[in-house]
Amino acid sequence: MYKIAAIGGDGIGPEIVAEGKKVLDAAGERFGFDIEWTDFDIGADRYLSTGTLLTEDDLAGLADFRAIYFGAIGDERVKPGILEKGILLALRFYFDQYVNLRPIKLLKGVKTPLSGKTPADIDFVVVRENTEDFYVGIGSRFKKHQKTELAITRELYYAKFGLDIESDAEEIAYQIGVVTREGSRRVQEYAFDLARSRKKKLTSVDKANVLSDVYGLWRDVFTETARSYPDVATEFNFVDAITMWFVKNPEWFDVVVTPNMFGDIITDLGAMIQGGLGLAPGGNINPSGTSMFEPIHGSAPKYKGMGIANPVATIWAGSLLLDHLGEHAAAASVVSAIEKSIRDNVVTKDMGGAAGTATAGSYIAECVRKSM
């Protein structure tokens, strides 16, 4: 018996989470476990009617669970950034979900825009650091005539960072990235362990040639950590170069470990080479706390309630959730069932099919129920 929290969220979120629950319940029937779902009403609607993003009660309630199944956040009625930072990033940080696990895998039957590449060529995992870097939210923005604030901030800025900001600049903005030894070590160790269970190759991403303080530290920690994993082959890639290699030679990669912001960027590219955002799952993992599984796409508000959204990324995220709980056979059967739905063309419009969200989800659930 597993207790799992669910946050449908905004836009298409509730619809796709509903399909994911169907599939996970089917996996429970087939593999002999029960899931007790607890829904949390968190998202734009509640924010607009009550002004709250996350309450103490939400956090205390969610802390009782090992896993949260998360749909999507984002709504046209709310200024961009409020819900994303106030809910999604707040949860990742609050629960210290320091690993963002994003498999880049071309499923059988899915078309990739990379000509000549097959499922054998596109099968790697990006491990994105999820609590540091330019996501820490330290920054400021001010105009020339905001005298007091400018003076204080300029002074502080100079004292702290030794940089003299051009005094007559019309407007100034800055944002600080923070990387710590401990933060780098824990996510890199996770990636090394993962590589050990796969093809034993780990690529580290950085931009240590320019952002040499933050990513210099990241790189030093990687070099040190690698000494404990002599059986894992390692390499460094600069982030600009890796975008090129993802396209040209995706078969080179097994596990890729990356600081937060670069990970955000390269996993959208990864999603495209695995067939599109509708197929890309992610897990926000705290190995000893509350983890959260979600599609990496957004809430697509214009498709809300139309029953046409692709539920596959969310269902696949459900498979990552099952893996996290140790239900490995059930997790694998969910991915096989997704592949069967593709083979049988019971897929949504974005994948060239005619099925609606619920039809596609029910079909995958049925395949899991019948799986051998």
Candidates 101, 296, 331, 368; binder of ligand IPM (CB under 6 A) is: 296
Catalytic residue flag (residue 135):
yes
Catalytic residue flag (residue 64):
no
Selected catalytic residue, list 39, 220, 240, 344: 240
Q: Which stretch binds Mn ion (CB under 5 A): 175-183, 211-219, 234-242, 257-265?
A: 257-265
Cα 109 from Cα 119, distance rounded (Å): 9
Provide φ and ψ at 227, rounded to 5°: -60, -30
Cα 129 from Cα 131, distance rounded (Å): 6
What DSSP state is assigned to residue 172? Answer: E
Q: Which is nearer to ligand IPM, 24 or 89 (CB)?
A: 89
CA distances (Å), origin 221, targets 107, 166, 284, 319:
34, 35, 22, 31
Both tokens of residue 156? 């502080």
Number of residues engaging Mn ion in binding (CB under 5 A): 1
Both tokens of residue 162? 């030794």
Catalytic residue flag (residue 121):
no
CB-based contact 298:318 (threshold 8 Å): no
Number of residues engaging ligand IPM in binding (CB under 6 A): 5
- Binding of ligand IPM by 88 (CB under 6 A): yes
Catalytic residue flag (residue 240):
yes
Judged by beta carbon distances under 5 to 8 A according to partner kind, the member of ligand IPM, Mn ion, none in contact with residue 272 is: none
Q: Of the candidates 37, 119, 32, 72, which has an alpha carbon nearest to the alpha carbon of residue 368?
A: 32
- Binding of ligand IPM by 83 (CB under 6 A): no
Q: Which is nearer to ligand IPM, 206 or 264 (CB)?
A: 264
For strand 171-178 and strand 133-143, is the pairing parallel, antiparallel, or unpaired? antiparallel
Both tokens of residue 236? 């460094």
For strand 291-295 and strand 281-285, is the pairing parallel, antiparallel, or unpaired? antiparallel
Candidates 25, 84, 121, 193; binder of ligand IPM (CB under 6 A) is: 84
Candidates 10, 15, 264, 323; binder of Mn ion (CB under 5 A) is: 264
Q: Taking CB positions, which residue lies at the least distance from ligand IPM?
A: 84
CB of 265 to Mn ion, least distance (A): 8
Candidates 16, 62, 89, 330; binder of ligand IPM (CB under 6 A) is: 89
CB-based contact 198:192 (threshold 8 Å): no
Q: Which stretch binds ligand IPM (CB under 6 A): 47-55, 83-91, 197-205, 339-347?
A: 83-91
HSE, side-chain direction, 13 A CA sphere, residue 2: 24
Catalytic residue flag (residue 143):
no
- Binding of ligand IPM by 330 (CB under 6 A): no
- Binding of ligand IPM by 264 (CB under 6 A): yes
Active site residues: 135, 207, 240, 264, 268
Contact residues for ligand IPM, defined by CB under 6 A: 84, 88-89, 264, 296
